[in-house]
Chain A
Amino acid sequence: MIRALWLIPLFPFAGFAVNGLLGPRVLPRKLVGPLACAAVALSFVVALGAVAGLGHLPESSAGLTVDHEAQRVTQTLFTWMPLGPGKDGRSVSVDWSYVLDPLSAVMLLVVTGVGLLIHLYSIGYMEHEDRSGYARFFAYLNLFMGMMLVLVLGGSLPVLFVGWEGVGLCSYLLIGFWYDRMFDEKSGMSVADAGRKAFLVNRIGDVGFILGTLLLLSALGTAQIQDILKGVPQLGAGMATAAALLLFVGVCGKSAQIPLYVWLPDAMAGPTPVSALIHAATMVTAGVYVLARMAGLYVASPTAMTVVAVTGGLTALVAATLGTAQTDIKKVLAYSTVSQLGYMVLAAGVGAFTAGVFHLMTHAFFKALLFLGAGSVIHALSGEQDIMKMGGLRTRLPWTHATFLIGTLAIAGVPPLAGFFSKDEILWSALSGRGGSLLLWLAGVVTAGLTAFYMTRLYMLTFAGPPRLTHEAEHHLHESPPVMLLPLILLAVGSVAVGFVGVPHFLGGAAVPNLFEHWLEPVMPAAVHAGAGAPLSEWAAMFVALLASGAGIAAGFAMYRGGPRPERATPAVRWVRAKYYIDELYDRAIVSPYRALCRFASAWDARIVDGAVNAVAFVTDLAGEMLRLAQTGYVRNYALGFFAGTILILYYVLR
Chain B
Amino acid sequence: MMPVPPQNVVIVSLLLFGIGVLGVLTRRNAIIILMSIELMMNAANLNLVAFSRQHAHLTGQVFGVFTITVAAGEVAVGLAIVLALYRQFNSIHVDDVRLMKE
Contact = CB atoms under 8 A, between A and B. Distances in A.
Contacts of A634: 94-95, 98
Interface in B80-102: 94-95, 97-102
Contacts of B102: 633
A636 interface: yes
Interface in A627-655: 631-636, 639-640, 643
B39 to A, nearest CB: 14
A635 B32 CA distance: 14
Interface in B14-52: 21, 24-26, 28, 33
A643 B25 contact: yes
B94 A632 contact: no
Contacts of A635: 33, 94, 97
Contacts of A640: 25
Contacts of B24: 636, 639, 643
Interface in A582-637: 631-636
A634 B100 CA distance: 9
A633 to B, nearest CB: 3
B25 A633 contact: no
A632 B25 CA distance: 14
Nearest to A638: B100
The bracket for how many chain B residues form the interface is: 10 to 19
Contacts, number: 26
B94 A631 contact: no
A636 B25 CA distance: 5
Contact of B21 (A631, A632, A643): A643
A640 B33 CA distance: 13
B101 to A, nearest CB: 3
Nearest to A637: B25
Contacts of A633: 98-102
A640 B95 CA distance: 14
Contacts of A636: 24-26, 28, 94
A640 B100 CA distance: 17
Contacts of B94: 634-636
A639 B21 CA distance: 9
A143 B8 CA distance: 105
Contacts of A632: 98, 101
A237 B102 CA distance: 79
Nearest to A632: B101
A575 to B, nearest CB: 78
A639 B34 CA distance: 13
Contacts of B95: 634
26 contacts: A631-B100, A631-B101, A632-B98, A632-B101, A633-B98, A633-B99, A633-B100, A633-B101, A633-B102, A634-B94, A634-B95, A634-B98, A635-B33, A635-B94, A635-B97, A636-B24, A636-B25, A636-B26, A636-B28, A636-B94, A639-B24, A639-B25, A640-B25, A643-B21, A643-B24, A643-B25
Interface of B: 21, 24-26, 28, 33, 94-95, 97-102
Given A633-B102, A643-B25, 15 more contacts: A631-B100, A631-B101, A632-B98, A633-B98, A633-B99, A634-B94, A634-B98, A635-B33, A635-B97, A636-B24, A636-B26, A636-B28, A639-B25, A640-B25, A643-B21
The list of the 4 closest CB pairs from A to B, nearest first, reads A633-B101, A633-B98, A635-B94, A636-B25
Interface of A: 631-636, 639-640, 643
